[in-house]
Amino acid sequence: MGIDMFPWQIEAINGMLEADENWRLRHRFALVSVGRQNGKTKGLLAPLIGWWLTHYAAQRGEPQNVMSTAHKLDVAEDVANVLFPILEEKFGFQTYRSFGRKEAFHEGGSRWRVVSSGESAGHGTSNDLVVVDEIWNVKPEVIEGGLLPTQTARPAPFAFFTSTAGSEDSKFFIRWRERGMQQIEAGEPGRLYMAEWSPPANVDPTERRWWSWANPSLGYTITEQELADKLEALDRGEFVRHHCNMWTSSIGSWLPHGAWEALQVDDPMPAGGILAVDSNATDMRYVGVRVALREDGRYQADTEFAVETQDEMWAAITESMKDRSVELALTPGLATMCPLDLSRRMTIWGYQEINRYTAIVKGMILEGRMAHNGKMTLTEQVNRAVAGRTQASITLTSQKSPGPIEQCRCMVAAAGMAAKPQSNIRKPMIGSSR
């Protein structure tokens, strides 16, 4: 292609295409997120597709089928405009160009289709490589119902997703990003490779020191002055999302910049406390956050688990409840299924408790009475949560928050209940014998 790849592009390509000793790819999926105009098209998408159609096809010894798309067809076609001349001149591919249709095919059988991101995308095809650009604005049913099923029967399929930060409507992006962050937190390699260039959550994006975090091409093709001009010219929310690669949580967050981050500690999680559990009905995800009293009088929060099935959830709850000083708090739907042996230490929480505790827990955070271990997903959700007004106070609102906040809700519920004065008087037990 006649280009020198930037260090960040080399890192991403090497990571997503890591292979074992038999040249089998270790990853099934890859998700890369970076600010706009950093070189995703020429430095990632085009090299990946071109390499897959030529060198990798030769290495595999069999034809390769590739399908690529983006949130807009003209964006998807930009990659073809870069690669078609090279495939024609250097590798003997034939290309077809018409309105709404672009294809490249080789006499050896390899084929590349550029398609629109409509609901029919992928139907009737079988693909070894699927590439989706700007997934923030591509519907989940297009990818999960149209494109990914085309890889079911392929021997070594790979799907690559890339994008700049999205909005609360970016359902697919949010779900896979959360999956990647949970995998990173667990410290266990998985089938998803994720790399994101972005500042820490909830920093002030107008401070220039953070711009390089989201723009790894700064100093190569992007200048600080150009970003400063964009800050002056664009809507602040657009600048934050497009050029700082930050979800718009920083704009409407219920907490001031850096308030949660300032509470991070390295101390182990204390025993006991309240384990609050919630579910995300849309994405079928279950999370548990525990808050316990520290020796210094503060309350420490930590994510106990984030799983995808009810069996995994009850197993994680049972493990946490082995500590007899832990109290369980479940939402009404989950409480109806609570095993009898856990129900004796179980209480129910819901919207009423969130309404009651949001302002209280916010005060605890601002006063430095909270602590946490810096878990990535918990920090993300605490910072993206948006508060709405009630008649007398404030409450967290999922509708206005740009992404899931179930871990934040659990933290608020658990912290509020943990900080509530507890009576030392136990309920009497009555027994009889004959």
* Per-residue pLDDT tens digits for 29-60: 999 999 999 999 888 999 999 999 999 999 99
How does DSSP assign 110-155, residue by residue?
A: -EEEE---STTTTTT---SEEEEE-GGGS-HHHIIIIIGGGGTT-S
pLDDT value, residue 434: 57
What are the C-alpha distances in Å from 380 to residues 106, 261, 317, 346, 355?
A: 46, 10, 23, 28, 21
Which tens digit of pLDDT belongs to each residue from 108-119? Answer: 999 999 999 988
**pTM for the full predicted model:** 0.79
Asked whether the beta carbons of 94 and 110 are under 8 A apart, the reply is: no
Q: Can you list the domains of the chain with their CATH numbers?
A: 7-196 (3.40.50.300), 208-249 (no CATH), 261-419 (3.30.420)
What share of the chain in percent tops pLDDT 70? 95
Q: Letter for the amino acid at 377?
A: T
pLDDT(246) > 60: yes
Average pLDDT along the chain:
90
pLDDT value, residue 283: 61
pLDDT value, residue 431: 56
Which tens digit of pLDDT belongs to each residue from 132-187? Answer: 999 999 999 999 999 999 999 999 999 999 999 987 778 899 889 988 988 888 78
